Structure 1
């Protein structure tokens, strides 16, 4: 008897869960594919933007002693910083990049001076940028720039980072 009652309760729970799931789905007449702040569809494809070409380039320093996991973490932080900057400066281009390609490239810089020159050049061209500071391995109280991010159209970003070597 106890088993029959348990099975009955389980069956009733499944039916109730199914009914609530079906009722919570939006009606087909409602348009849920629009972003509220602009009219760009959420699901985009390359055919919607045939001339789309944007990317994010991350530039990491090779002269700072960091292992691969630290570099990965710093690149992740730089990606977020650059993403937030792009959401304020170029939200439509960021939306297209996010829904189509999300191209990210990691390049090398060999000094703090080179990294800051690239960062300043990107800011002078009004490109969205992000910079990550980490503790200096020799002096933990001092923060040093380790990774920058630059976002924009390919030609704009290549003008600044086109001669850099890929990080390996």
Structure 2
């Protein structure tokens, strides 16, 4: 999709808020799938303006919410309570995502992959939740739809290299070493989970394809 890496925000001198610039091609493609324009723009905003597939997944995951209201309502904030300052801090925050890189050389079944991705997600979450700053990032991530992406990795060596790269960038990550009770040998590196700002995570996994 064109414009995947385009800058998503620019300074707005009128109101001090960030002005989101969605990928027009992606908006059109999402609308062709039956989503409203407002919903398409919101999905692209909350998933980092990446791909149509990721935005569509976000829309399906959040289908129980009112997605047809303009994004400007979120950016401007609607609270009249004492929490207004906190709301503005939240709305101007960076977007986060959690990605999972699956070791495709193991040829795991669908159920096994699902279990290993869940293992990575829970372990990564538990490792972060006890640290106040990291817990706050998880809260922001949760309010923005909990973007989760599953990607295809080549082998154990690649997963280990990606984990080291994530460490270098200060990104929380967890590499699952399977117990070996089913399908794979004990100690097999099955899934790597990484959490962080969209732009930072993309520095590690941006070239990988969706599973």
TM-score by length of 2: 0.53
Cα distance, 1:144–1:46 mapped onto 2, change above 3 Å: farther
Q: What is the match of residue 187 of structure 2?
A: 143
Is this contact kept in 2: 1:81–1:131, CA < 8 A? no
Q: Decide whether aligned partners of structure 1 residues 81 and 139 sit closer, same or farther in structure 2, where only a CA change above 3 A counts.
A: closer
> Which one of 157, 174, 192 corresponds to residue 113 of structure 1?
157
Native 8 Å contact 2:96 2:196 kept in 1: yes
Larger gyration radius, structure 1 or structure 2: 1
What residue is the counterpart of 2:73 in the other structure?
none
Residue 85 of structure 1: how far off its partner (Å):
2.5
Query: Displacement of 1:94 after TM fit?
Result: 1.0
Counterpart pick for 2:117 among 42, 53, 75? 75
Listed as ranges, the gaps of 5+ residues in structure 1 are 1-40
* 1:96 corresponding residue in structure 2: 140
Partner Cα distance (1:102, 1:50) in 2: 17
User: Which of the numbers 74, 84, 103 marks the counterpart of 1:61?
Assistant: 103
Spell out, residue by residue over 1:55-114, the C-alpha distance to the aligned partner (whole angstroms, 9 max, x if none).
001000110021000000100010111112232362211111122220000001111100
Structure 1 position 146, deviation (Å): 0.5
In structure 2, relative to structure 1, the CA distance for the partners of 1:127 and 1:48 (3 Å cut) is: closer
Deviations 1:27-79 (A, max 9, x none): xxxxxxxxxxxxxx7xx989941443100010001100210000001000101
Mapped partners of 1:138, 1:91: distance in 2: 34
Cα separation, 2, equivalents of 1:91 and 1:128: 12
| CA drift at 1:136 | 8.3
Aligned positions, number: 124
Match of 1:158 among 187, 202, 205: 202
RMSD of the alignment, in Å?
A: 2.5
**Please, what TM-score do these two structures have when normalized by structure 1?**
0.66
* Structure 2: unaligned runs, 5 residues or longer: 1-82
Counterparts of 1:6-85 in structure 2, within 5 Å, are 48-85=90-127
- Provide the rounded CA distance (Å) in 2 between the counterparts of 1:71 and 1:48: 33
Tell me, in whole angstroms, the C-alpha distance in 1 between the residues paired with 2:205 and 2:98: 11
Equivalent residue, structure 2, for 1:31: none
| Deviation beyond 4 Å, 4+ runs, structure 1 | 44-48, 136-140
